[in-house]
Amino acid sequence: MMFARRLGLNMGIIALAAALLATVAAEGLYRSGAATRIEYLYTDLWHRLAGPREAPRHTALVMLDDPTLNERLDEPLAFWTPHFAKAVATLREVGVKVVAIDFIFSGSPERWIEKLGLLGREASRNYDQPFRAQINKGGVLLAGFRVGAGDSVNDFILPSPDYLLALPNLDMQGHVGLANLPSDADGAVRRFALVEAHGEFARKEGLPRLAFGTLAATMATGQDSQARAWRFGGREIGAEHAVPITFAGPPGSFHALSFRKLLAPDAAHDPDVRALAGKVVVIGAGYASMNDLHPTPYSTSIGGANILMPGPEIQANVIETLLTGHFLEEAPATVRLAAFAMVLGALAWLGMWLSAWRSVVLVILAMQVAAVAAYLLFKQNLLFPVAHLQAGMVVVLVCLSLLRLTREERERKRIGQMFGRYVSPQVVTALLASPELPELGGQARQISVLFSDIRNFTTFSEKLAAREVVELLNTYFERACAVLLAEGATIDKFIGDAIMAEFGAPLAQPDHARRALRAAVALRAVAVEFRTWVEQRFAGRDLPEFDIGIGVHSGEAVIGNIGSSVRMEYTAIGDTVNIASRLEGQTKETGAHILASRDTVSMFGGELKTGALHCLMVKGRAAPVEAFEIIVVT
């Protein structure tokens, strides 16, 4: 129990260390942004799997499309301001909140008319009057663009001065938004900045500073464009924040109304036009030759159709995100770290008790579960960094692999040291080469047990000095162990002048009975040869003839490290061991040098010359044991 408790504690400490290292690695990757692109692959996949997420309720899209252009083939777009004026008037009539025109009117048709002398002087002054009038009434957002850092006027592309002068109260910051669409490192648009011109220059000079979508949302909610923070969806968002876009769905999720419907006679009574009431309407370009197309989460090639999204639709998604207040929230740092620690800790703990390949399977399954969980969280508008968590899982797996290598190396070294005293070098080599190390705690196994005892050892002890007895035993045991180890025996112990050996443990040997009987016959031959050494070494000492008795039995025994927490030894216990010991003792009564049970003889599987069959009563057993005298094995 104490050993198991200590083992569990050590495993817990190691698992904690591995989890801590993996958590630090995952969090370090997150903070450094090193795995951000991999995270993009996941979030993009979540967008594609989710498909259309929520029908837009606050924002609508009107596109100047090819059918609209085809109806007026002879009119250059530079001269379309009267049509825009009519469209804005129609939208105003049906009750639209804000008209956000995603065109940059950097040129004035009136100036072209005057320069080219196309019409009379009156026309050159009044051609744009309807459009300027609509701008002056308010509720119209024009687009600009930042091309530099925003530290000078030259860093901005702005609408023509003719239109800027028509702005209500000449308030450029309240009616001109910067239509830039910042992209991530891979070129895809996934988030928007509330403020596009962060420097103080734009604020001081009254130049546009808010992003196009931000300004449209602030106009719709009546908030101050000059503020440093705005309130959407019950939360305050500072000017410095970049907010993930909560896309309504893939390109086309905003069902765009054709611009030509706004130009049709009695357009304000069209049900499709009337459906725009109360919304922010983005008017943008949707014809074939436009270049305002951008990659988004729906555009990556892995599992996607590589479809680009028009800029006006992205702006509509930005406005819808702010007005609905449904933000893609990134998991708070405390939640992220807690999830990292809990998941990686559990993974490290479980992996400590599994084999290498099962640990790999566990980590792979955990990665899949983490991905599914991250997708379900995404469905609830929560972004969890699953790629970083999976990176931490890989770190756990690497730690477990390194630990397993070092632990197995230590275990194999310990086993080599332990069994090197009992078994042959060949068996040790086979043990260490085995894919599974032996269980040292105790296990049942079919083995053969051999006991050997020196006859008349008491007489030897009486007639020889203590040192001479030790010399005799050491010399004999050296020769005896050599033949036992040659048959793959495990030398269990020396009990005075007796030897106990097992065959079939710790390394399984299907022919353990055959090995045991061969070893018994070889051991008997060693004893016969050893007589000469005894007679020469102790000549004239009137010693009895050196001889041994051997008992062999086969059956199931429990083998392993048995003992206490203070002292343990590798041994075998059970009825099989007792019978083998009793058979060895019966050799004196029967006069046989080797007695082997019928169980061992039946398992021999070769040619065997036996002597008499004895039916022996052994201590501790009610039924007799049949044993053969073994003479020759081949």
In the structure, what pLDDT confidence band is assigned to residue 534 with cuts at 50, 70 and 90?
Answer: very high
Least confident of 136-145, 302-311, 322-331, 473-482: 302-311
Residue 107: DSSP 8-state: S
C-beta of residue 319 within 8 angstroms of C-beta of residue 284: no
The most confident of 103-112, 283-292, 424-433, 434-443, by mean pLDDT: 283-292
The predicted-structure confidence for 285-333, as pLDDT tens digits, reads as follows: 999 888 899 999 998 755 555 689 999 999 999 999 999 999 998 899 9
Q: Does 140 score more than 70 pLDDT?
A: yes
The predicted-structure confidence for 26-68, as pLDDT tens digits, reads as follows: 999 888 888 888 899 999 999 999 989 989 999 999 999 999 9
Mean pLDDT, rounded, for 368-394? 94
How far CA 622 is from CA of 161, 431, 582, 616, 619, in Å, comes to 118, 38, 13, 11, 8
C-beta of residue 193 within 8 angstroms of C-beta of residue 211: yes
CATH superfamily of 438-633: Nucleotide cyclase, GGDEF domain (3.30.70.1230)
Q: Does 145 score more than 90 pLDDT?
A: yes
The overall pTM is greater than 0.85: no
Q: Does 71 score more than 50 pLDDT?
A: yes
Mean pLDDT, rounded, for 444-453? 95
Contacts of 40 (CB under 8 A, 6+ apart): 184, 186, 188, 190, 297, 300
Q: Does 621 score more than 90 pLDDT?
A: no
Token pair, residue 399, equals: 């730690």
State which H helix or E strand residue 498 sits in.
Answer: strand 498-503
C-beta of residue 62 within 8 angstroms of C-beta of residue 243: no
In the structure, what pLDDT confidence band is assigned to residue 76 with cuts at 50, 70 and 90?
Answer: confident
What are 59's strand-pairing partners?
280
Residues recorded for the chain:
634
Give the C-alpha separation, 436 to 408, whole Å. Answer: 10
Ordered by start, the domain boundaries in the chain are 2-41+329-415, 55-324, 438-633
Token pair, residue 351, equals: 């992996």
Token pair, residue 554, equals: 């086969």
* DSSP per position, 530-544: HHHHHHHHTTTS-PP
Give the C-alpha separation, 369 to 348, whole Å. Answer: 16
Token pair, residue 552, equals: 């062999």
How far CA 574 is from CA of 447, 507, 529, in Å, comes to 11, 18, 33
pLDDT at 5: 45
Give the C-alpha separation, 579 to 449, whole Å. Answer: 9
pLDDT at 256: 94
pLDDT at 213: 96
pLDDT at 8: 46
Q: Does 107 score more than 90 pLDDT?
A: no
Mean pLDDT, rounded, for 492-498? 92
Output the average pLDDT for the chain.
87
pLDDT at 2: 41
Give the C-alpha separation, 97 to 217, whole Å. Answer: 10
pLDDT at 412: 61
C-beta of residue 569 within 8 angstroms of C-beta of residue 563: yes
Least confident of 183-192, 211-220, 527-536, 618-627: 618-627
What is the residue whose two structure tokens read 């790999």?
Answer: 360
Least confident of 218-227, 330-339, 395-404, 597-606: 395-404
Token pair, residue 175, equals: 């009616």
SS (H, E, C) 180-195: CCCCCCCCCCCEEECE
pLDDT at 505: 85
**Phi/psi at 408 (nearest 5 deg)?**
-65, -35
Least confident of 109-123, 375-389, 409-423, 581-595: 409-423
Q: Which residue has the higher pLDDT, 400 or 83?
A: 83
Residue 545: DSSP 8-state: P
Least confident of 304-308, 487-491, 614-618: 304-308
pLDDT at 352: 81
Q: Does 181 score more than 60 pLDDT?
A: yes
Give me the percent of the chain exceeding a pLDDT of 70: 88
pLDDT at 241: 81
The predicted-structure confidence for 554-573, as pLDDT tens digits, reads as follows: 999 998 777 765 666 778 99
pLDDT at 618: 79
Least confident of 121-130, 407-416, 523-532: 407-416
Largest CA distance in the chain: 151
Give me the percent of the chain exceeding a pLDDT of 90: 63
Q: Is 300 left (phi over 0), alpha (psi -120 to 50) or beta?
A: beta
In the structure, what pLDDT confidence band is assigned to residue 6 with cuts at 50, 70 and 90?
Answer: very low
